[in-house]
Amino acid sequence: MRILGVDPGIATVGFAVLDAEKRSQRLLTCGVITTPAKTQLSSRLDQIYRDLNELIAQFHPEVMAVEELFFNTNITTGIAVAHGRGIILLSGYQAGLQIYEYTPLQVKQAVVGYGRADKKQVMDMVRRILSLQAVPRPDDAADAVAIALCHARSATSLIHQQERFDPCSTT
């Protein structure tokens, strides 16, 4: 399965393309989409949309894993990021990708095994799991790799493979 992991943003959008098969994952590429500061929001959204579509056309992912938003203090920044996230979801949807969304807690749990892990622990585990020489840079790219890994580990788990069998179903 080829996964496009995306860390939403407006100034910087992290992306990672990962191939996953059972317990094996291989990073194909990662990086960031950047938009210039002091540019109209609509222009920034257009840039994200075009660049993401180009990535999808180049790497042909089957699924997209996107981090859900977490608002801490700055709601104004959060609203702009939400616009960017909407464009990201639209791009994946229009390309026919299955889209999966994960909270930061779920990403940390899947990558480190502890939902309250700090950023350094997550980045170190990303490096170890993928046998990389160094943590991917910049941080937004590394976050996107972690999101893709989260989906790879969730999608290849025994529970996910048996999801068609629902022991709690009454039908």
Residues involved in catalysis? 7, 67, 140
Report long-range pairs for 52-59 (Cβ below 8 Å, ≥24 apart). 52/6, 52/13, 52/15, 52/87, 52/88, 52/91, 52/92, 53/91, 53/95, 55/4, 55/15, 55/17, 56/4, 56/91, 56/92, 56/95, 56/97, 59/2, 59/4, 59/17, 59/28, 59/29
Q: How far is it, in rounded angstroms, from Cα 1 to Cα 58? A: 15
CA torsion through residues 36, 37, 39, 40, sign? positive
CA angle, 142 then 82 then 88, to 5°: 60
What is the rounded CA–CA span in Å between residue 141 and residue 31?
5
Q: Which residue has the tokens 């989260």?
A: 150
